[in-house]
């Protein structure tokens, strides 16, 4: 049986990356998809860990070869997910986590309707602004663009199966962990993954 495909989306500053990091530490069974991007690496970022950093021409060539499951232009940079890697990992039974924006999530849902969408919200716009300023990664004009984009991103929250409001980080992390575990315990999933074991018990063996 294919592994679950989880999609996590959030406006910049909502805490998506930190929450996913907490999930990965708590649940080694889940694997994070590393996106491709034309964005320049930030200080401390490593190619192949945070992102696969590629040039605009390289990105265009990969699109032409049909290598991406989804791709989107976000804050002036291109991002995409490897179709082959996702297919390979899911076929091996691994649960996968995608950190992408709502545009990419919409593309993925069209191709993989069973994908499980999770949207992370900040408690308020004021909190979002404070977080973006506190992390000191972007100049004021970029922060202003991210806030403007956040309004549009949040308007798509109704397209997702789950919503987490990241007011208290510990609680939000537990919510994310609980969603992943609950999806694994659905009857349809358990019957498919443990069919032989369950059938033996039905027969009293």
With contact defined as beta carbons under 8 Å apart, do 38 and 77 qualify?
yes
Torsions phi, psi for 64 (to 5 deg):
-60, -30
pLDDT means per 10 residues in the chain (205 residues)?
Answer: 94 90 94 95 90 96 96 89 95 94 92 96 85 71 80 93 96 97 93 89 87
Give residue for tokens 């605009």.
56
Cα distances from 126 to residues 51, 129, 130, in angstroms, run 29, 5, 6
With contact defined as beta carbons under 8 Å apart, do 143 and 11 qualify?
no
Which residue, among 81, 123, 119, has the nearest Cα to 102 in the 3D structure? 119
Question: What is the rounded CA–CA span in Å between residue 103 and residue 9?
Answer: 10
Task: Give the pLDDT confidence score for residue 137 in this predicted structure.
Answer: 65
Domain ranges of the chain: 5-33+95-202
Question: What is the rounded CA–CA span in Å between residue 165 and residue 16?
Answer: 11
Which residue, among 58, 45, 52, has the nearest Cα to 85 in the 3D structure? 52
170's tokens: 């510990």
Which residue, among 99, 131, 103, has the nearest Cα to 118 in the 3D structure? 99
185's tokens: 């315990």
- CATH number of 5-33+95-202, picked from 3.40.50.300, 3.40.640.10, 3.40.50.1820, 3.20.20.240: 3.40.50.300
Which residue, among 56, 20, 19, 21, has the nearest Cα to 36 in the 3D structure? 56
Task: Give the pLDDT confidence score for residue 148 in this predicted structure.
Answer: 81
């Amino acid at each position: 049986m294919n592994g679950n495909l989880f999609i996590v989306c959030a406006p910049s500053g909502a805490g998506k990356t930190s929450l996913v990091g907490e999930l990965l530490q708590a649940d080694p069974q889940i694997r994070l998809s590393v996106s491709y991007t034309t964005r320049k690496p930030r200080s401390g970022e490593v190619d192949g860990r945070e992102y696969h950093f590629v040039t605009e021409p390289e990105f265009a060539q990969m699109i032409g070869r049909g290598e991406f499951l989804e791709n989107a232009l976000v804050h002036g940079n291109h991002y995409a997910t490897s179709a082959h890697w996702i297919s390979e990992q899911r076929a091996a039974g691994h649960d996968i986590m995608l950190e992408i924006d709502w545009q990419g999530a919409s593309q993925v849902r069209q191709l993989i309707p069973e994908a499980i969408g999770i949207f992370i919200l900040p408690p308020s716009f004021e909190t979002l602004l404070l977080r973006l300023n506190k992390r000191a990664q972007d100049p004021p004009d970029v922060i202003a663009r991210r806030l403007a984009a956040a309004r549009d991103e949040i308007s798509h929250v109704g397209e997702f199966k789950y919503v987490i409001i990241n007011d208290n980080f510990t609680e939000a992390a537990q919510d994310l962990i609980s969603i992943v575990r609950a999806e694994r315990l659905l009857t349809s999933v358990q019957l498919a993954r443990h069919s032989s074991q369950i059938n033996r018990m039905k027969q009293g063996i």
